[in-house]
Structure 1
């Protein structure tokens, strides 16, 4: 099991980071909440990881905090929740916000996540109520450093694609319908905004913080 990786961040994009470690480049799938915390390419990075092996693929998932990684591992044990959906959940809500949803029995916030219907939301609330106790000692009260405002000043490297197009594509890849992505980005788009900030603000509007 690969539980942690430290190396140089070579590339980053919503949903994935390329980390060079000991001469090897590791493609790491990440939720948006982790993407927002990444440094600039060329800087050192450390991620808590989960290595998943299937018959047709091997995937490495990375998280900015151990709490997010451990919650991911609990989520994929829920019936009907695979790694892709778990990443989607942790892209819309960080671990603190998700735990608060469970504690408050807030199904409304969960159903706004891509791929989470009413039945899945109810299943999450039921099964995760007991399991979040396994995170005892890691869950601390939210502070200004633990909210979605972290890393606001980070900048996504320039590319040939318009930030708005990149942001819409990222939301669609996460599981939102194209019209939902276009509408969400359109509500927050302003001149000169990076794709990262467009994604962050769109997600905040779609999934209010608890």
Structure 2
């Protein structure tokens, strides 16, 4: 139903992030490892989502990339691992490290991961060993301080756009828009939102 949400980060907490999308603030459960991949509060970002709907509750889960979400789905295929347990596991170990442990068949290391006992570790090896892969591993994007509107650049690069092209585009757009009285009168957050939307259109 929902593939992803793009909006402004309004709060970051352990295993939780708030994102405002045009006046609607979403409360999203997210692994701590993925939380660290996203930019700071006040930045615009894209989060890949999964909505779990049960008879008693609804919970939105978020991930820094489609690959991270796929790993979440793969973990839930293991008997005994539900959504909350998968988030706990992903919060305790990076995706790359988890796949290495599984590929090595390191049962002892698996058992040390919070939320994974001896029985679950065995089931994970049986179900997932040699079957996981990441096309790319997201990381925190570092942008040089002199680049204008750093948070917008970070958000766009995190979405997969080329860093050099993004920096050039944001620098050009910000210089052009600064001469616009309406843009100059906006708050910093409004300027970032306007730049983000404009850049998405032009980069696409």
Q: TM-score normalised to the size of structure 2? A: 0.64
Q: What is the CA-CA distance between 1:38 and the residue it aligns to?
A: 2.6
> In the alignment, which residue of structure 1 is the partner of 2:33?
33
**1:52 CA displacement:** 0.9
**Unaligned stretches of 5+ residues in structure 2:** 143-204
Poorly superposed stretches of 4+, deviation over 6 Å: none
Note the C-alpha offset of 1:100: 1.0
User: How many angstroms apart in 2 are the aligned matches of 1:74 and 1:28?
Assistant: 20
How many residue pairs align between the two structures? 142
What's 2:157 paired with?
A: none
Match of 2:113 in 1: 113
Q: 1:36·1:151 contact (CA, 8 Å) conserved in 2? A: no
Q: Give the aligned partner of residue 175 of structure 1.
A: none
CA distance in 1, matches of 2:18, 2:70: 21
Deviations 1:56-75 (A, max 9, x none): 11111111122111010111
Report the equivalent of 1:124. 124
Note the C-alpha offset of 1:130: 5.9
Match of 2:79 in 1: 79
Contact 2:103 2:130 in 1 (8 A): no
Q: 2: CA distance between counterparts of 1:30 and 1:37? A: 11
In 1, Cα distance between equivalents of 2:120 and 2:59: 24
Backbone CA RMSD of aligned residues? 2.0
- The answer as to whether partners of 1:72 and 1:86 remain within 8 angstroms in 2 is yes
Q: Once the 2 structures are TM-superposed, how far is the Cα of residue 85 of structure 1 from its aligned partner?
A: 0.7
Q: Which has the larger radius of gyration?
A: 2
The CA deviation string for residues 19-63 of structure 1, in whole angstroms up to 9 with x for no partner, is 001210100101110121232211101111111111111111111
CA distance in structure 2 between the partners assigned to 1:32 and 1:109 by the alignment: 19
Deviation string 1:3-25 (CA, Å, 9 cap, x unpaired) is 21110001111110000012101
> 1:101 & 1:70 partners in 2: Cα distance?
18
Contact in 2 for aligned 1:3/1:51 (Cα 8 Å): no
Partner of 2:5: 5
5+ residue gaps in structure 1? 153-210
8 Å CA contact 1:52–1:59 kept in 2: the answer is: yes
* Aligned mates of 1:23, 1:96 — CA distance in 2: 36
**SS state of the match for residue 129, structure 2?**
helix
